[in-house]
Structure 1
Amino acid sequence: MDYTLLCPHPKGESLMEIVCQSERLLARRWREDDAETLYAIYREPKVVEFLGVAPTPSLEVQRERIPGLLRTYERYGEGFGVWAMQRKEDGVVVGTIMLKHLPYDKEQLSEHIEIGWHLGVPHWGQGYATEMAEAMLAYGFKRQGCHEIHCVVEPGNDRSVAVAKRLGMTELERTTKYYDGLELHHLLMTKEAWSALHTPT
C-alpha cells in the first residue's frame, strides 16, 4: 500500500497538522507544547554535530525558540516546512523531517527545495530517516509539484550521505551556494529519476 499521502488521525492527531506518512511514521507540524521533545533531541552533541549550531543549553532556551520555528511555516510557504517525525504506534517523536527552500544565507531563500532529517540519538539505526524521507519525496513530487529535490550535507556526516544515496539521490560536486557559503555535499533527485525508481517493471 502507498502510505505516503494518506492522512488519518493516529493518536488523536489533527488532520490539519499531518503532512504525510509512511508505514511506521507520520510528519506533523511542531507545536508549542513540543519544547521538551525538541530539547531532548537537540541537546545531544551527536545530533547537532553537523548542523552548525551548539547543543540547546536548556529547556527554557528551547521554549524561547518555539515561536521562531512556528513562523517558518509562513516563511517557506504552503506545504513546505520543518516537521516532527512521529511514530504512529505510540506517538513518540523520533526526530525532524523537512522539505523547504534552501537558503542562500540567513535572509535570502533560493528557489531550490531541499529535503533533510535529524534523528534523536535513541532512534538511530532503525531505518526511520530513510522511511520518512521516502514518504517526503513522494509528497514533494506528487503533492507539491516539485521538479527536483536537493539534499545538502556537511562533510563528515556520512550517515546522512548514506541515507540520501539509499533514497536513490545522485551525488553532484560539492557546493558553496547555500547556507552562507559553507562547502557541502550536494545530492539531487529529479522527478523523472524518482518516477523511474517507483514505476513497476
Structure 2
Amino acid sequence: MNIARTARLSFRLMDENDAELLYELDNDPEVMKHLTRGKVSTMQTIKEVFIPRLNAYRNEQKGWGLWQVNIIESNTFIGWVLVRPMGFFEQPDFSDLEIGWRFKKMSWGKGYASEAALAIAKAVSEPEEVKSLSATALKDNLGSIKVMEKLGLKFVKNYIHKDEQGELPAVLYSCPKEQLS
C-alpha cells in the first residue's frame, strides 16, 4: 500500500532498517513524556523490543505498521503514524484499526500530526472489513487528544493504562470510518 502525499508531507512504511530514525525520535525525554514517563529508548531497546513488535503487526498490503512522515520541502523526518488492529497483542479486532503517532518536538504545533494521521487513516480504512478507527492516550496528553478530536474521533471511555512503570489514567477515542474529518 502507498499513501499519497499531502501538500506538505510524504509517507513511507518503516521497517527494521529504520532503527536509527526510531532511536533519534525516542531519544527526546519530552517526546517520551506521555509514553515512558520521559525515559528515552536505547538503541538496544529499539532493536530488541521495538523492531520485533513492529514486525509482528507490519503488513504492507493492509497498510499496518509505522508510516514514516517527512516534510517534503526539506525531506526531513519528523515522526511516524502507527496503524494496527486494536488489541493486536491481546485479541485483535480487524474491523477497528488503532491509529497513533509520535513526532519530534520541533514539529509540534504545526498541524503535521493531524495532517499525516488523517491522510493515513483514510487510506488504510478503505477496505470494507475496516469499520472504525480508534486511538488511545494518557489522560494528560492533551496534544494527542487534540489530534484525535481533529480527526473526528469521539471520546468513548476513561480507563487505567497499565505498563511496567505502573498505572495511569488514559482515554479511548473512536469513530466509524465514514466520520473521519
Same fold per TM (> 0.5)?
A: yes
Q: Which residue of 1 aligns with 2:147?
A: 163
Is 1:51 matched with 2:31? no
Aligned residues: 175
* TM-score between both structures, scaled by the size of structure 2: 0.79
How do 1:1-201 and structure 2 match up within 5 A?
A: 18-52=2-36, 54-57=39-42, 59=43, 61-64=45-48, 67-68=51-52, 71-74=55-58, 78-103=62-87, 107-111=89-93, 112-143=96-127, 145-176=129-160, 183-194=169-180, 197=181
The answer for unaligned runs of 5 or more in structure 2 is: none
* TM-score between both structures, scaled by the size of structure 1: 0.72
Query: Counterpart of 1:96 in structure 2: which amino acid?
Result: W
CA distance in 1, matches of 2:128, 2:65: 12
* Segment drifting more, 118-127 vs 183-192: 183-192
Contact 2:15 2:55 in 1 (8 A): no
CA distance in 1, matches of 2:123, 2:24: 28
* Offset from partner CA, 1:94-113 (integer Å, 9 cap, x none): 10101112237xx4242032
The 1:74/1:81 distance shift into structure 2, 3 A limit, reads: closer
Query: Counterpart of 1:189 in structure 2: which amino acid?
Result: C
RMSD: 2.9
Query: Would you tell me which structure has more strand in proportion to its own residues?
Result: 2
In our comparison, the structure showing a higher alpha carbon Rg is: 1
% of aligned pairs identical?
A: 24
The 1:132/1:98 distance shift into structure 2, 3 A limit, reads: same
